[in-house]
């Protein structure tokens, strides 16, 4: 959801996290991508232009299949805070950064951070990327999973509340530098690269 409750962006995420694209053959993979995107469009009335693969898993063919299906950006690559272009698709497919450190499930269950530590991590990451973003575009992805074991638990709701307050602060500080992924992929990202 966008701030204020209006509809945000929907991105493809495979049909299930239980079966990754790396676990099926190439023909099934292409069908899985198309089926996922078609289902999202049928349910929402809007065709997604982004993709975050189940388990962040891609094969050697995945980017080709995603570009073929009209996807403009992928969030499966954890290797940089800057967007960059792949030499795939027309226009080229954009990699928008994603971070496991700012995802509540790995933070709480793998890194074993507390709610205040997670909130502090988010603030430090934002402050660093905000400073660096003055001259070169930076992307901060924050994943808040809506399932009972993660941020939806009562004991962790405070971090989500603080996160939403931080998002309001970020919008205020960022002004026109703030963008949803699709807008970034369609406009300024390509020219800024």
pLDDT averaged per 10 residues in sequence order, the chain, 193 residues:
44 68 85 90 89 83 92 87 88 86 82 86 84 81 65 56 57 55 54 46
pLDDT in tens, 5-60: 334 566 666 666 667 788 888 888 899 899 989 988 998 898 888 888 877 778 88
What pTM value is reported for the model? Answer: 0.73
Contacts of 108 (CB under 8 A, 6+ apart): 118, 150, 156
Q: What is the pLDDT of residue 190?
A: 47
Q: What is the model's pLDDT at position 3? A: 38
Query: What is the predicted pLDDT for the residue at 66?
Result: 93
Distance CA 91, CA 124 (A): 34
């Amino acid at each position: 959801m966008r701030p204020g409750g209006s509809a945000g962006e929907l991105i493809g995420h495979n049909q299930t996290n239980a079966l990754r694209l790396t676990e099926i053959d190439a023909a099934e993979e292409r069908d899985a991508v198309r089926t996922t995107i078609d289902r999202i469009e049928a349910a929402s009335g809007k065709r997604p232009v982004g993709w975050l693969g189940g388990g962040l898993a891609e094969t050697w063919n995945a980017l080709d299949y995603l570009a073929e299906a009209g996807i403009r950006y992928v969030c499966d690559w954890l290797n940089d805070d800057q967007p960059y272009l792949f030499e795939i698709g027309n226009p080229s497919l954009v990699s928008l950064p994603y971070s496991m450190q700012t995802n509540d499930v790995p933070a709480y269950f793998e890194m074993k951070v507390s709610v205040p530590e997670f909130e502090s991590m988010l603030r430090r990451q934002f402050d660093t990327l905000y400073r660096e973003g003055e001259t070169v575009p930076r992307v901060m992805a924050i994943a808040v999973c809506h399932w009972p074991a993660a941020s939806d638990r009562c004991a962790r709701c405070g971090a989500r509340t603080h996160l939403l307050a931080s998002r309001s602060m970020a919008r205020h500080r960022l002004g026109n530098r703030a963008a949803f992924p699709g807008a970034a992929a369609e406009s300024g990202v390509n020219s800024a690269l």
